[in-house]
Chain A
């Protein structure tokens, strides 16, 4: 191999990707960076941040994928993140990715970027689709008119990607800053404002024309930075001027007209969003996603559990010290198991979500079901997450990544633990079977109904508490249907799955060791700290009538809800008087206490893995604490009501 000079002539620049949602921005990002990418959250918020490294001819370029936006107005969190990044981080090059089929709207964003800064490259993506639709884009003309480099690409066929890479390594430091003119009146205002801003040294880092435009558009943030508030509003006129300018550019640079006739997307949409068929298809898709996520992953999870069980036994044989063996086998290997059992589940979930997202069905699903969710002040986007909650709250919360509005996402994350997950079902079956015999089915049905009622009420309450009761808005594009691509699906699934393993995984593992400690010391079982906690909490539960064994099993249940079953059978199995494993419990509590206990199990603190993903997805412990205290309060109150009312019946 030749001795290469250690990238001496490489220069490090940052490139930011901007674009409307659904223009194939992520595909371009993937094409530029390959698998060299990191998915994280933007600091302090729930919006996903993707960053990667592009290597090309000895150049190393950092690529940051900014959230998809339609404007740079900072009216939504996505826009604010994109704008702040451009303003504060000043990336070397800003790439605006446009959709060849719908260039007009893409150029609207481009113009706003051009108002802000120079060194902009326009990428016209999906050019293959535009050709199919019957029009040709004259990139030289477009480039001449806009005064910036233009690259025509197709992320599907790979066309233009090399050219884009070449353009990026060349195009730094041209610093051309394109201006277009507004009406005389607006321009006069802009001159005045620019003068005022120039006089202010603290605004030296900003482009004064951009600040002035934003002031005329009554932009809140810019009003705050500059301390200038105008009593006139030109936002409508400015927007119209931009579109007029775009129309003029497009009239010379796009040739051909859209073919009239049979349109693939429209034909599919006719069925997918049909009044009756649309709902049937929606239900079928939801059923398939649910089954894929929980039925197919079931046996895989069991395999992983058994494998780790075997591993634990093998390790246990080598360790002579009792507590150390228990720590390794139950605490650490058990904890790793607690993380790994979610792996099939999470990966299959994101594969399914990826397919729905890439094909473009997800917004259609939201459209079909929106009216129902609107009554909870949510939108159709949160339906699927809630539905997944019946399988597992971890999957449910992870899936909220597809909800674009932050407010709605937080509400959905906080209420989904009230949806009765499948791990709680064994508890219902055991207790209801013991106390209610043939009527156990009715009891379990009641619990599911209660679960939905509390979810709906909590959504309304949490919305009121955190977001003043404003319903989430629904301004949503229905993109063209696309064939999902395997490579991007794999990347999507891997990125999200890895994120879960790294972030939530560590929390779950740590919690598992803590819980092991509580249940092992000072002596295992009834003498443990966990049992002490159960006993010391007993006075608090006198109104509910639970015994300390029941309370202890609830404490253990925080690790995972199905653990309640095993700890109850351990405690009461030993006390068994009548032969049946849980016979003893019937002599200790009444049926209404049992029902109230079931209600408590349904509603109380989310399990550790769920709390871990709440922390991970909201990026804040505030919501974790809220979730714990709120659920405890609700559980205690409703359980008490059930006990008291049940006592009268």
Chain B
């Protein structure tokens, strides 16, 4: 079963899609964003992260809009998937891995593959503890950022 989650737009991962729920922004900013199509129910996708991590490019109503995290953190989106880095304890399904062949290969050795399950057993501090088919593994935050999971 897929449970949708509400997360700030800034926390979406490259390539991920979501539906806008709410803009918790001052009226002036909200109005400008409304004119660009940021209204609730609208589908939005994170297209690209700038070289230094911020700002990010989002696609909404067919156009690409750049927003900094200082604004996008106040836009709440409903998404069925989140980055593993933000996942709390529980069972998840891996829906997307952002990375090259090497990264995928290393994850495959741990049993993490797109479409397969994993369980988060601890998410505190700098590392994330998971278990895959009974095997214990830890991932760094950077690695976990690039793994998109869905709750199940």
Contact = CB atoms under 8 A, between A and B. Distances in A.
A235 B54 contact: no
A102 B63 contact: yes
Contacts of A366: 66
Contact of A477 (B31, B51, B63): B63
A367 B55 contact: yes
A466 to B, nearest CB: 18
A471 interface: yes
B30 A368 contact: no
A240 B35 contact: no
Nearest to B33: A475
A239 B38 CA distance: 9
Interface string A46-75: 000000000000000000000001110101
A75 B32 contact: yes
B27 interface: yes
B31 A75 contact: yes
Contact of B61 (A71, A75, A76, A105): A105
B61 A102 contact: yes
Contact of B39 (A239, A471, A476): A239
A367 B67 contact: no
A101 interface: yes
B5 interface: no
A477 B35 contact: no
A619 interface: no
Contact of A240 (B40, B63, B68, B70): B40
A104 B61 contact: yes
B137 interface: no
Interface residues of A, number: 44
A372 B50 CA distance: 11
B54 A101 contact: no
A145 B54 CA distance: 42
B32 A474 contact: no
Contact of B35 (A73, A233, A278, A372): A73
A269 interface: yes
B64 A478 contact: yes
A239 B23 CA distance: 13
Contact of B63 (A105, A108, A471): A105
A217 interface: yes
B134 interface: no
A374 interface: yes
Contact of A370 (B27, B33, B41, B50): B50
Interface string A62-100: 000000011101011000000000000000000000000
B39 A474 contact: no
Nearest to A99: B63
Contacts of B66: 363, 366-367, 370, 474-478
B68 A370 contact: yes
A105 B67 contact: no
Interface string B63-100: 11111101100000000000000000000000000000
Given A278-B51, A471-B70, A474-B67, A71 B62 contact: no
B40 A71 contact: no
Nearest to A241: B39
Nearest to B67: A475
Nearest to B23: A236
Contacts of B52: 370-372
Nearest to B57: A478
Nearest to B48: A273
Interface in A188-231: 217-218
Interface string A472-490: 0111111100000000000
Contacts of A374: 54, 68
A109 interface: yes
B142 interface: no
B39 A475 contact: no
A276 B51 contact: yes
Contacts of A235: 27, 30-31, 34
A71 B55 contact: no
Given A367-B57, A371-B54, A236 B40 contact: yes
Contacts of B71: 473-475
B32 A368 contact: no
A106 to B, nearest CB: 10
A279 interface: yes
Contacts of B101: none
Given A71-B34, A367-B50, 11 more contacts: A70-B35, A70-B36, A101-B62, A105-B35, A218-B27, A236-B34, A279-B51, A474-B55, A474-B68, A474-B71, A477-B66
27 contacts: A70-B32, A70-B35, A71-B31, A75-B32, A101-B62, A104-B62, A108-B37, A218-B27, A236-B23, A236-B30, A236-B39, A240-B39, A240-B40, A273-B51, A367-B50, A367-B55, A367-B57, A368-B51, A474-B71, A475-B29, A475-B32, A475-B33, A475-B66, A476-B65, A477-B63, A477-B66, A478-B63
